[in-house]
Structure formats: structure tokens, C-alpha cells
Structure 1
Amino acid sequence: MHNRIHGITPLVLRQQLVEGLWNKPAFILSVILDELRKPKDERLQWLLWVDRDTIVLNPCVPVEAFLPPAEEEDVHMVVTKDWNGLNNGVFLVRVNEWAVELFSDILGFPYHRPDVELRFTEQSAMEKLLDEDKFRDNTVYVPQRWFNAYQGRDDEKLEPFQTRRGDFLVHFAGVGDRSKEMEYWLNIAEKHAPDWMLDFYRTAYPAETEEFWRNYADQE
């Protein structure tokens, strides 16, 4: 439903390009290269990557709500962190040469730096690279709940990273029995209940994103 509302054409990873979890950056790199071959006015400007263990809860939330303001031309990556550091289950990347360099370096990481421990494989490689001078200044970490929230039930005291009514999606990173937990949230999503499927202007996002990017600009 979200794609239909906002006119988004999904690109789905359905085949093995390289081994294991490295298939993800390989696919993203291939998509970016395909886009850069097109005339500039026909290219995608940004990509939203979403792991398959996510559920959109509020299709009224537009992806562009999380993008940097137009004047922040040097921001090419918008990501989030959890207690383990970078979580790249959901993130936004600008379609440009910077992204080509990043995902090329991610794919080459285990070959060029075989002695570096990568606890979370390609995610750890991405985190280490984003912390280097080459990529750091073009990367912005935003509040996790914006587009990479983890589950929280109504009877719990919700943490800042846990999803609330009206939020965009819920991500099940690190959850053991995903099928059971995802079934619960799929039932919520499929009901399209008005207290979850809020119009965008009624969510916390407009005020939160405006304040975040204003503070970001003030710190530059």
C-alpha cells in the first residue's frame, strides 16, 4: 500500500549476486550504477534500503520526510544506530559517485582488510567505513525510531527506539522467532486502524525532522 500511495517502484533483491550477506551491498551497488547510466533528469535521486524483516505500519508517511533539506547537498547517507552501533537494515543513500565508492569499498573490505574482525559481516564493514575520513562528513545518524524502529507493546514503557502509533515501520533485527512476532505486527498493519494509520501531519515526524535538521545546520 505504501508504494501505491507514494508512487514508489520497489526494486527487490531476488537472486544471489555474491556470497552470503555481501549480496546486499552488491545489489545496492548494481542499482546505483544502473541509475547513473541514465540521463541525470531520469535517475532516482535517493534509494531507501529496507530489509525483508520489516513491516510498514503507517503507509501515510512519505520517505522524503526523512531526507535532508535541499541545501544540505553534502549529506549522502542517512542511517541509524542501535545498542550494537550501526544498523543498516533500513537506510537512505543518495544516488551518486560517493555511493559507488562506498559500496565498492564495502564489497572489497574482506579482501583488502582480511585481518579486521567483522562481527556483523557487511554491516560492520559499512560501519567502519562510514567512520573514516573519506565518508564520515557525508553521513548523518538520525533518531532510530524515524525509520528503523524496533517493536514495543502498549503495556511496556516504550524506549526512544521503539515504535509508537503513527510511526512508519517496525524492524525485527536480531529477533529470534521472527515469524511469531511479525505475525502480531502484520495483524496490526493489515487492520489499517485509524490510531496507527495517522495522516502524516498528525504524526510526530514533521516537528521532529524540522527540529533535527535545524539543529544539524546550526552545528555545521
Structure 2
Amino acid sequence: MNRTMSLGPKISDWDSRRSSRRRKIKQCEKRMMLVTSSHPKPCENPLGDHIMLKSAKNKMDYCRLHGIDMFYNVAKLERSLPGFWIKIPLLRAVMLSHPEFEWILWMDGDALFTDMTFRIPIRKYEGYNLVMNGWDHLVYGNRSWTGLNMGIFLIRNCQWSLDLLDILAQMGSDGPGSVGIGKILHVTLFGRPDLESDDQGALLWLMNAQRERWGAKIFLEHSYALSGFWVPLVRELEDKMRRFEPGLGDDRWPFVTHFAGCEFCEGWANYSPQDCRRQMERAFNFGDNQVLEMYGFRHPSLNVADVDRT
């Protein structure tokens, strides 16, 4: 492990410092902030920026409807943490700058809210500090790399979380250490490709290696679609509209649809780029209808951007 990596000065008394700072903040305490990020430069794919704009609008709509603050980042805060690791220093910076927020909701740019009325059951997570889509038998039984998902998660603003971010930063810093950790993750985790270290694999490894310290405070949520995988969901959206109503949050009317495996900005994808773009447009329109109907409009079809009066 590369132990030279640091997110900043070591903090060990954040819970007490945060409590003191919160008392000094005049505004009312806010429960949650959504944090997301996109590339600091224009997308190589000419349609990528347009898709990211719609993704940002989707998140702003949900936050506005539910009284959630939002922070949209386009800066790379730590050069030694590449790619998807950008969330680690960003989350730490948000926590330290906003002690008034109890929870931070991280959401990848390739994920959309598709149930605009579903509310996160935050009281359900008392006693936990991290909530993500996952299954215990896959995480602890099979050690499956896909047993959880780091694309969308809730993390509590507390000392435990800062300690976890510090350790993940060490496991993700660029360089030879990252390659070595990637090899360890590849060997010890089922179904993980032989790649450099990644945040999802690193967290899964920590949960198994130090379950009492980390796993005990992590809630693996699967009662609703905190990170619904897009492939089985989006092709049946019309059927869901006919049979169900929003507010369910599960596969019948998914809370979040995550386009994992698609790459909208850099031009490559694990799936057909055309299919990724088309299905994300459909999922966006599915969520957008729930907003537009408040103003008397609706997309006549999920396949078009046009709207009609209702």
C-alpha cells in the first residue's frame, strides 16, 4: 500500500469539531447534500456534454423537489487519484466545509433519478455510516466484485467516514502501489478484472478484511433501487408506466437507474454507444415526465425530446 498518499492534514477529532461548528452556524441544519462530478474538459464524444447536461438537470430537479442541496464539481482535486477516485477527496472537502449536513449523497454522472417522488428512508439508517446498493451474501459470502455498487451511496458526515476516505485514498493513489493493490484485489475478489486498484474493489476488500471496523457500519440496501442497473430496466419503462405509479422506488418504478458500463464523455463503452445514449435519453424522459406534468406538459413518447400539453 502506498502510504505517502494523503488527502490533507490528519483529522482525528472531527465529530467534536463538527458539533462545535454546527452550533455556530446560524442557518437551520440541513440533512443532506447531493454531490456529483463530471470531466473538467469538454467531452471527446460530441454528444457527451449534452447528455451530462441532462444528467445534471435530472439531479437538480430531484433535489429541488425534496429540499436537498447539490454540489456539482468539475475540478480534479487530487492529481494522484485518477478516474473514479475523484469522489474520495471531493467528499472529504465537502464534509469539512459543510458540517451542517449530516448525510452526503454521492451520485455518478451516469446515474439518473427515475422515481421523482421516492424519498430516501433516512431514519432506517440510524447506527450506520455508509449506505449502498448491495447484498450481504455476495459481499461476505462470495466476495463478489459486483456484490455492491460504489456509483451511488449515502455517507454520513463523521469521523468514521473521514477515516475510511483516508484509507481508500492510500489504496487508490496513482503509481506502482496501485498496480500491486489491483493484483491483490484481482486474486481475492470474485469476478474482478486484472486492473489497477478501484474504489469498489478496495471497499469490498476492507469490508471482508476488517469487517468489525468497516462492515459493521455499512448498510447494504436492496429493498429499493438505490442503483438500479439500466439493462433490465429501461426497455420495460412503457410497461412500468402502464402498470404502476411513482413512489415505489423498486424495479416496478426504479428510484435510480445507473448506466454502469456506458461511457458518455470519453467515447468508449462496454455496451453499444448508440444503445447507451438512446436508453439514457429514454430514462431521462421517464423521470422528466414526472416533473413536466406539474406544469401541464409531457413527452408523447420516451423516445423523443418533444413535449405536448396534457
CA contact (8 A) 1:33 1:100 kept: no
Q: How does the TM-score come out when normalised to structure 1?
A: 0.71
Does the alignment pair 1:46 with 2:103? yes
1:10 Cα deviation from its structure 2 partner: 0.5
* Percent identity (aligned): 22
CA–CA distance in structure 2, aligned partners of residues 193 and 10 of structure 1: 18
Tell me what 2:87 maps to: 24
For the residue of structure 2 that corresponds to 1:48, the secondary structure is strand
CA–CA distance in structure 2, aligned partners of residues 33 and 104 of structure 1: 13
Do the aligned partners of residues 110 and 90 (structure 1) sit closer, same or farther apart at CA in structure 2, a change above 3 Å counting? closer
CA contact (8 A) 2:130 2:153 kept: yes
Tell me what 1:136 maps to: 215
Do the aligned partners of residues 113 and 23 (structure 1) sit closer, same or farther apart at CA in structure 2, a change above 3 Å counting? closer
CA–CA distance in structure 2, aligned partners of residues 156 and 168 of structure 1: 16
CA contact (8 A) 1:80 1:148 kept: yes
1:163 Cα deviation from its structure 2 partner: 3.3
For the residue of structure 2 that corresponds to 1:59, the secondary structure is coil
Deviates more, 1:168-177 or 1:78-87: 78-87
Superposition map of 1:60-71 within 5 A: 60-63=117-120, 65-69=121-125
After the TM superposition, which segments of 4 or more aligned residues of structure 1 sit over 6 Å from their partners?
A: 155-158
Tell me the amino acid that sits aligned with residue 188 of structure 1: F
Within the candidate set 165, 168, 171, 1:106 is matched to 168
For the residue of structure 2 that corresponds to 1:23, the secondary structure is helix
How many residue pairs get aligned? The number is 182
Do the aligned partners of residues 190 and 143 (structure 1) sit closer, same or farther apart at CA in structure 2, a change above 3 Å counting? same
CA–CA distance in structure 1, aligned partners of residues 251 and 74 of structure 2: 28
Superposition map of 1:67-82 within 5 A: 67-69=123-125, 72-73=126-127, 75-81=128-134
CA–CA distance in structure 2, aligned partners of residues 4 and 16 of structure 1: 26
CA contact (8 A) 1:61 1:168 kept: yes
CA contact (8 A) 2:129 2:217 kept: yes
Tell me what 2:236 maps to: 154
CA–CA distance in structure 2, aligned partners of residues 130 and 79 of structure 1: 13
Tell me what 1:185 maps to: 283
Please give the per-residue CA displacement for 1:118-174, whole angstroms capped at 9, x wherever unaligned. 54612211222233232111111110743111232329999xx97322x31211112
Structure 1 or 2, whichever has the larger Rg, is 2
Listed as ranges, the gaps of 5+ residues in structure 1 are 37-42, 195-220
Tell me the amino acid that sits aligned with residue 142 of structure 1: E
Tell me what 1:198 maps to: none
CA contact (8 A) 1:22 1:122 kept: yes
Tell me the amino acid that sits aligned with residue 236 of structure 2: D
Please give the per-residue CA displacement for 1:2-33, whole angstroms capped at 9, x wherever unaligned. 11111111011210112322211111111112
Does the alignment pair 1:3 with 2:63? yes
Listed as ranges, the gaps of 5+ residues in structure 2 are 1-60, 136-143, 186-194, 241-248, 263-270, 293-310
CA–CA distance in structure 2, aligned partners of residues 2 and 110 of structure 1: 31
